[in-house]
Amino acid sequence: MPSRLQNKVAVISGGASGIGAAAARLFVAEGACVIVADLQEPLDRKLADLISTDPDKIRFVKCDVSIEDEVVAAIEAAASAFGKLDTVVACAGVPGMGAAGDISAEHWDKTFAVNARGVFLFTKYAIPHMIKAGGGSIINISSAFGIVAGPQFAAYAASKGAVRNFSKATALDYIGQGIRSNSIHPGYIDTPIVQNIISNAEDTDAAQSMFNALQPGGHAGAPEDIAWGCVYLASDEARFVTGAELVIDGGLLAR
């Protein structure tokens, strides 16, 4: 029986779709109990089936990560359903596209509200539970564009850079309480967030080629490629890993 996450209890924001949904399925398969917190009901059919058939292992809580009370409710749902909380995967995100001169202040604020404030709120409200549990693992999904920038991604790259350094600050502040905090930096992964950018582009073929060209291998990764990194950082195998930036990008940052 696989059991890398036996006795772990996790909240996964953005867990209804893409990378978060893949992480939720792998976490349950590896023995964890999971709260999926998202704006929308799970899109992923296998995940939706799991939620309806196994409430002792996984539940859905509707949550806008930028709203403080809703984050508190998602965190409390984990503690009350499964008795504790020791793992957070902050995965909810929005694309935040456009160059600085072309985007509005509202667009900037909305991008930061989800991608940066949402990550902060999950850390803030998880910490008391992790201290009570004797430790924990905070896994924040940044981006390759949290390390380097990409054209037309001004607000997104800024918000993902904030996630990278916020994760390190938390690692330093809570190392004495056994809480680890790390960021993951995916390359181009085939999920709805990118599929929507491509399908809404004026020239969809050019947009698809632009994303493929980012990757040295010429194609996207799968959500599971990132989800396995989440499993590792949540597990005790990563007990000495904190303040790290785990790049899983098919070589995007290698050139």
Cβ proximity to ligand NAP: between 24 and 65 the closer is 65
From 5, 58, 114, 171, residue interacting with ligand NAP (rule: CB under 6 A)? 114
Distance in Å, CB of 182 to ligand NAP, minimum: 14
Q: Is 201 in the site for ligand NAP (CB under 6 A)?
A: no
Both tokens assigned to 184: 């993951």
Cβ proximity to ligand NAP: between 20 and 136 the closer is 20
Nearest CA to 200 out of 97, 60, 62 is that of: 97
Cβ burial of 193 (10 Å; 0-12, 13-18, 19+) is middle
Distance in Å, CB of 152 to ligand NAP, minimum: 14
Q: Is 35 in the site for ligand NAP (CB under 6 A)?
A: no
Distance in Å, CB of 131 to ligand NAP, minimum: 25
Site string for ligand NAP, 74-113 (x = CB under 6 A): -----------------xxxx-------------------
Instruction: State the catalytic residue, choosing from 125, 156, 174, 232.
Output: 156
Distances (CA, A) of 132 to 5, 35, 85, 136, 231: 19, 19, 9, 10, 22
Distance in Å, CB of 75 to ligand NAP, minimum: 13
- Our answer to whether residue 125 is catalytic in this structure is no
Q: Are 223 and 22 in contact (CB under 8 A)?
A: yes
Distance in Å, CB of 87 to ligand NAP, minimum: 17
Q: Is 161 in the site for ligand NAP (CB under 6 A)?
A: no
Part in contact with ligand NAP (CB under 6 A); list of ranges 64-72, 166-174, 197-205, 229-237: 64-72
Q: Is 229 in the site for ligand NAP (CB under 6 A)?
A: no
Both tokens assigned to 120: 């902060």
Say which residues have a Cβ less than 8 Å from residue 84's Cβ, sequence separation at least 6.
Answer: 9, 78, 129, 132, 133
Q: Is 193 in the site for ligand NAP (CB under 6 A)?
A: yes
Distances (CA, A) of 20 to 42, 80, 106: 10, 22, 26
Say which residues have a Cβ less than 8 Å from residue 241's Cβ, sequence separation at least 6.
Answer: 180, 182, 233
Q: Is 18 in the site for ligand NAP (CB under 6 A)?
A: yes
Q: Is 194 in the site for ligand NAP (CB under 6 A)?
A: yes
From 12, 50, 51, 64, residue interacting with ligand NAP (rule: CB under 6 A)? 64
Please report the DSSP string for 193-235 in residue order. Answer: HHHHHHHHSSSHHHHHHHHHHHSTTSS-B-HHHHHHHHHHHHS
Q: What is the DSSP letter of 32?
A: -
Phi-psi region of 14 (alpha: psi -120 to 50; beta: other; left: phi over 0): left
Catalytic residue list: 156
Point out which residues bind ligand NAP (CB under 6 A).
13-14, 16-20, 38-40, 63-66, 91-94, 114, 141, 143, 186, 188-189, 191-194
